[in-house]
Homo-oligomer: A and B are copies of this chain.
Amino acid sequence: MSGNSFGKLFTITSFGESHGPALGCIIDGCPPGIEISEADLQRDLDRRKPGTSRHTTQRREADEVQILSGVFEGKTTGTSIGLLIQNTDQRSKDYSNIEETFRPAHADYVYTHKYGFRDYRGGGRSSARETAMRVAAGGIAKKYLASKGVGVRGYLSQLGPISIDENNFDWDQIEQNPFFSPDTAAAEKMEVYMDELRKEGNSVGAKISVVASGVPVGLGEPIFDRLDAELAHALMSINAVKGIEIGDGFAAVEQKGTEHRDEMTPEGFLSNHAGGILGGISTGQDIVAHIALKPTSSLRLPGRSINIKGEPIEVITKGRHDPCVGIRATPIAEAMMAIVLMDHFLRHRAQNADVECTTPVISG
């Protein structure tokens, strides 16, 4: 168990390197009887897949997923589900020049020290390529959650200096631009900004927000597996993520108790500063998380580094890269939130299926 599994009851375990023959995933603990087809998983894979606009890497991957087990006559059987995606566009030669190089801000240096050597082809296991399997697995969690009335969706809330305007927020616009921006005016500014950035050969960070609605009250396992703690774990495990906020997040530092507390009435909560989680347990309100992604580490602009002999070198990263990894991160963040909620849905009913609570549930 050295880090390639996630989830206690709905468990995903994955394998695959950027330039290996294939990526794979095993999902264990999925309830039986769920109607699942490859098409159900393909939708989000296509949202994450590279090469769909000029603002992402031009590597071409169909990212077509095969279901190899655990589904029979169109329904999950309750046994482990095997998923496979063939890598079709590796171009190893693009990367052979970095065999002896440690690229700044990449995992090259740490992998070499941890494991003694590394698969240098496109970053090997440390490449964000593996997130394709997270998205595929998340598709199964989303399908199940939907059957329970739970929806998970995300959006890009900031790209470098450009934030979305809450007054222009429109969920329906998110799939209508290459950035998953709910604000079309902001999306236009992002187009211009990204075109300049690409010319410059530089990269930039981004902020993604994810929201789950229809979550029942009660999900989360205090004290260490609080729902927010598991979300933080899941979201921080996504490549390039450097920060996590639940609800108001860091804004809470300057808030007073009277500002932050979400008062309750029989009609429901009067605000959602908590982001839908109190004491590590879902309140029934929308669950709101924000993540900060660092700028892509692969740049055409030269940087100082060392090689495997420890000698000083100058590095320029050629090849095909996303100038902003955040752009494709929205479906990945949705997938990880869905996986956490699915896992906690099962964990909750394992222990609490007998519970009868007479206190009325107030609306989110």
Contact = CB atoms under 8 A, between A and B. Distances in A.
Interface in A108-166: 109-119, 124-126, 130, 158, 160-161
Contacts of A119: 72, 77, 79
Given A68-B20, A116-B357, A255-B295, A14 B80 contact: yes
A252 B81 CA distance: 33
Contacts of A114: 78, 217-218, 220, 281, 348, 352, 355
Using C-beta atoms within 8 Å of the partner chain, give the interface range for chain A. Answer: 35 or more
A5 interface: yes
Contacts of A80: 4, 13-15, 125
Given A69-B24, A250-B292, A265 B346 contact: no
Contacts of A60: none
A151 B110 CA distance: 20
B106 A278 contact: yes
- One complex includes copies of this chain to the number of 4
Given A293-B252, A347-B2, A349-B350, A263 B118 contact: no
A195 to B, nearest CB: 15
A279 B126 contact: yes
A311 interface: yes
B223 A257 contact: no
B9 A350 contact: yes
Interface in A228-258: 228-237, 239, 241-258
Contact of A260 (B222, B294, B310): B294
A1 interface: yes
A236 B228 CA distance: 7
A312 B266 contact: yes
B224 A237 contact: yes
Given A106-B278, A258-B301, A352-B78, A13 B13 contact: yes
A211 B71 CA distance: 36
Interface string A298-340: 1101011110111110000000000000000000000000000
B355 A116 contact: yes
A110 B218 contact: yes
Given A125-B223, A218-B114, A28 B5 contact: yes
B8 A253 contact: no
A181 interface: no
A214 interface: no
Contacts of A362: 306, 310
Nearest to A359: B308
12 contacts: A1-B9, A3-B226, A15-B80, A17-B72, A22-B69, A31-B355, A84-B84, A205-B255, A232-B235, A258-B301, A349-B353, A350-B350
